Chain A
Amino acid sequence: MANKLIDLQHITKSYGGNVVLDDLCLYIRENEFLTLLGPSGCGKTTTLRIIGGFETPDSGQVIFENRDISALPPNKREVNTVFQKYALFPHMTIAENIAFGLKIRKKPASYIKDKIKYALKLVNLDGFEDRMPDSLSGGQQQRIAIARAIVNEPKVLLLDEPLGALDLKLRQDMQYELISLKNELGITFIYVTHDQEEALTMSDTIVVMNQGYIQQIGSPVDIYNEPENAFVADFIGDSNILPGIMIRDELVEILGAKFDCVDKGFGENNPVDVVIRPEDIDLLGEGEGIIDGVVTDTIFKGVHYEMCVMSRGFEFIVHSTDYYPVDSKVGISVHPFDIQIMNKPESEDEKAVEINE
């Protein structure tokens, strides 16, 4: 991937004493599909609005192509936004909506006409020129909002939870359409969502945020397989997060049993957090695994069974295509590379103790 297109430097933003973003640093490369992922209130939308120009950071700079655009109003920025609730102009036809930005830029009428046609084709809504927005379904309105943004040929498209209001099937279809749209346009997408599945499906890079801080930046595979802390592990998919003790490199004690793993550099006899994904747990016959447990709950999920297995006082969530009825005794085994070790988050109390010593 090429150069840094957008560089957010030490961005801080608070609303009435409530800090939403604290010293956020993040860069976005050219032609990247970057997703800001986190629960509501994590600052992801504020970050997007700062890039779009709708919010001004209290401190820090927004660098766009090596130019500080922090003070530039939205209408002067080379980015366009797809709003969560579409924000189509209700008094204009679809064609007028799409033409809005082009007319402001005083493009010739024939150019505008071609662009409208091209954009509608791109979002699979040919012939919708003369319809009014309120006669369209939510999914169609969303496509028009995308068409209206991309006809202006922005270098960056900002998408604020654009699929949030659509139903599941449509949302999945739109994910594929957005990926192919991005490939067709060859521009940068910055996407905001709280839906981890959307983020994993579409992104080149995922930025996991919580309470105004970036928790982890990485590819979907990195984020899923190697979460850096318990928050990321918990937020991305189901997971079993257990306390453990790193006995030495490549050996961890969980629930009193020793598990081989592949992580190094966590010290010796150090308390750590351990993440095991539900689909990475292998259920075997009693006594054949590393520890034994009892199935307490089984739900059929379609592709797999979701089972709860109680073992040594911890309830594991297990996804498996094999069926084990409730009350069956099973052995639990995990491949070494499916065990993810994380440092315990440092709490404020621990820091305070250190300072006192």
Chain B
Amino acid sequence: MNERRNSFLAAPYLIWSIGFIIIPLIYILYFAFTDASGTFTVGNVSAIISYVNIRALMLSILFSIASTFICLLLAYPLCLILTTVTSSSSAFLSLIFILPMWMNSLLRTFAWQNILERKGVINGILLFLNLPPLYIINKPPAILLGMVYDFLPFMVLPIYNSVSRIDKDLINAGRDLGADYFQILKGIIWPLSLPGVISGITMVFVPSLTTFVISDILGGGKILLIGNVIEQLFTQDSDWNAGAGLSAILMIFIVFSMIITAKYDREDIS
């Protein structure tokens, strides 16, 4: 009786995951390994070996690693501060950092384009102060900035969750046993917050690897990431087979990165 009710409750999720996750995945794999006429080929997948595609993939990975690293560097100290201040100011502070998530990401990215433009907000201020202008729009730093700004909340939330869950008595016990703040950070807080750090890394690394909007808008179409290559194959060339082939390759990289982080996670905890 109970089991039947459980499976009844699970039905919507089952339908959802079959209809919107498993079938599309099968379709992607089908397109990836067939050509326009429907015959089997590995050409779409092996297309990754071209100079342009490899370059785009490597660039994507570099950008993802850099943005993940910067997000972690910014988010971790922030979360430490958030957990030490009183609960009311911590709620306010975390709201400020989560607030950008309420806005459309496209809008945020366009805003950064406006700020960074040759005649944008920043250069207006610099010009007013008689300082040399800053030309980073359409260059790698602009894309990196866009990624960090867009994905920082995804790093902050899981880390804040794991740090704030650490029992205050554990910190007190560390102090009681003679540890100063950095010894407590290294020996107690950091290892206990690792699960949050790992999920933060995954949640920033994966969207950074696949984004094409940020590189499109802040890179001015001059810097091709693997996301842009795939997007162009679908929208400009209408070559679904080639696009699916590269998407499949990208998925392998994502699964690979998740396996590495999960393994690292388990090793450090036990």
| Chain B associates with chain A | yes
Whether, in the assembled complex, A353 has its beta carbon less than 8 Å from a beta carbon of chain B, the answer is: no
A101-B178 contact in complex given A91-B191, A91-B269, C-beta closer than 8 Å:
yes
Which residues on the A side are within 8 Å of B141 (C-beta)? none
Whether, in the assembled complex, B222 has its beta carbon less than 8 Å from a beta carbon of chain A, the answer is: no
Which residues on the B side are within 8 Å of A90 (C-beta)? 170, 192
Which residues on the A side are within 8 Å of B183 (C-beta)? 104
In the complex, what's the smallest C-beta–C-beta distance from B168 to chain A, in angstroms? 9
CA distance A88 to B174 in the complex (A): 10
Whether, in the assembled complex, A216 has its beta carbon less than 8 Å from a beta carbon of chain B, the answer is: no
Whether, in the assembled complex, A19 has its beta carbon less than 8 Å from a beta carbon of chain B, the answer is: no
A81 contacts B180, CB within 8 Å? no
A81 contacts B176, CB within 8 Å? yes
Whether, in the assembled complex, B3 has its beta carbon less than 8 Å from a beta carbon of chain A, the answer is: no
B161-200 vs A, CB cutoff 8 Å, 1 = contact: the mask equals 0000001011011111111100100011001100000000
Which residues on the B side are within 8 Å of A75 (C-beta)? 175-180
Partner of B176, one of A80, A84, A89: A80
Enumerate A191-207 residues with CB–CB distance to B below 8 Å.
none
A152 contacts B178, CB within 8 Å? yes
Which residues on the A side are within 8 Å of B170 (C-beta)? 87, 89-90
Partner of B188, one of A53, A81, A85, A89: A89
A148 contacts B191, CB within 8 Å? no
CA distance A81 to B174 in the complex (A): 10
Enumerate A82-96 residues with CB–CB distance to B below 8 Å.
83-85, 87-91
In the complex, what's the smallest C-beta–C-beta distance from B183 to chain A, in angstroms? 6
Which residues on the A side are within 8 Å of B188 (C-beta)? 89
A52-B178 contact in complex given A85-B169, A91-B269, A104-B183, C-beta closer than 8 Å:
no
A152 contacts B269, CB within 8 Å? no
A83 contacts B172, CB within 8 Å? yes
In the complex, what's the smallest C-beta–C-beta distance from B124 to chain A, in angstroms? 47
Partner of A87, one of B169, B179, B187, B191: B169
B177 contacts A80, CB within 8 Å? yes
Which residues on the B side are within 8 Å of A79 (C-beta)? 176
Partner of A100, one of B180, B187, B191, B192: B187
Which residues on the B side are within 8 Å of A80 (C-beta)? 176-177
B172 contacts A74, CB within 8 Å? yes
B167 contacts A74, CB within 8 Å? no
Whether, in the assembled complex, A105 has its beta carbon less than 8 Å from a beta carbon of chain B, the answer is: yes
In the complex, what's the smallest C-beta–C-beta distance from B270 to chain A, in angstroms? 8
Q: How many residues of B contact A (CB 8 A)?
A: 18
CA distance A148 to B179 in the complex (A): 14
CA distance A81 to B171 in the complex (A): 12
In the complex, what's the smallest C-beta–C-beta distance from B191 to chain A, in angstroms? 5
B173 contacts A104, CB within 8 Å? no
B178 contacts A89, CB within 8 Å? no
Q: How many residues of A contact B (CB 8 A)?
A: 24
Which residues on the B side are within 8 Å of A101 (C-beta)? 177-179
CA distance A155 to B13 in the complex (A): 61
B179 contacts A81, CB within 8 Å? no
CA distance A190 to B116 in the complex (A): 63
In the complex, what's the smallest C-beta–C-beta distance from B137 to chain A, in angstroms? 45
Q: Which single residue of chain A is at the shortest CB-CB distance from B179? A: A104
In the complex, what's the smallest C-beta–C-beta distance from A88 to chain B, in angstroms? 8
Q: Which single residue of chain B is at the shortest CB-CB distance from A100? A: B177
A52-86 vs B, CB cutoff 8 Å, 1 = contact: the mask equals 11100000000000000000011100011101110
In the complex, what's the smallest C-beta–C-beta distance from A17 to chain B, in angstroms? 16
Enumerate A127-148 residues with CB–CB distance to B below 8 Å.
148
In the complex, what's the smallest C-beta–C-beta distance from B177 to chain A, in angstroms? 4
A81 contacts B178, CB within 8 Å? no
In the complex, what's the smallest C-beta–C-beta distance from B108 to chain A, in angstroms? 37
B172 contacts A87, CB within 8 Å? yes
A100 contacts B169, CB within 8 Å? no
Which residues on the A side are within 8 Å of B176 (C-beta)? 52, 54, 74-75, 79-81, 149
CA distance A51 to B133 in the complex (A): 58
A73 contacts B187, CB within 8 Å? no
B173 contacts A87, CB within 8 Å? yes
Which residues on the B side are within 8 Å of A74 (C-beta)? 172, 175-176
In the complex, what's the smallest C-beta–C-beta distance from A29 to chain B, in angstroms? 22
In the complex, what's the smallest C-beta–C-beta distance from B70 to chain A, in angstroms? 27
Which residues on the A side are within 8 Å of B191 (C-beta)? 91
CA distance A354 to B270 in the complex (A): 69
A73 contacts B192, CB within 8 Å? no
Which residues on the B side are within 8 Å of A87 (C-beta)? 167, 169-170, 172-173
Which residues on the A side are within 8 Å of B179 (C-beta)? 75, 100-101, 104
B174 contacts A100, CB within 8 Å? yes
A95-129 vs B, CB cutoff 8 Å, 1 = contact: the mask equals 00000110011000000000000000000000000
Residue from the set B173, B175, B179, B191 with the largest chain A CB neighbour count within 10 Å: B173
In the complex, what's the smallest C-beta–C-beta distance from B165 to chain A, in angstroms? 11
A–B complex contacts, Cβ < 8 Å, 17 sampled? A53-B175, A73-B175, A75-B175, A75-B178, A75-B179, A80-B176, A80-B177, A81-B176, A87-B173, A89-B173, A91-B192, A100-B179, A101-B179, A104-B177, A104-B178, A105-B178, A152-B177
Query: Measuring CB to CB, which residues of chain B are less than 8 angstroms from any residue of chain A?
Result: 167, 169-170, 172-180, 183, 187-188, 191-192, 269
Query: Measuring CB to CB, which residues of chain A are less than 8 angstroms from any residue of chain B?
Result: 52-54, 73-75, 79-81, 83-85, 87-91, 100-101, 104-105, 148-149, 152
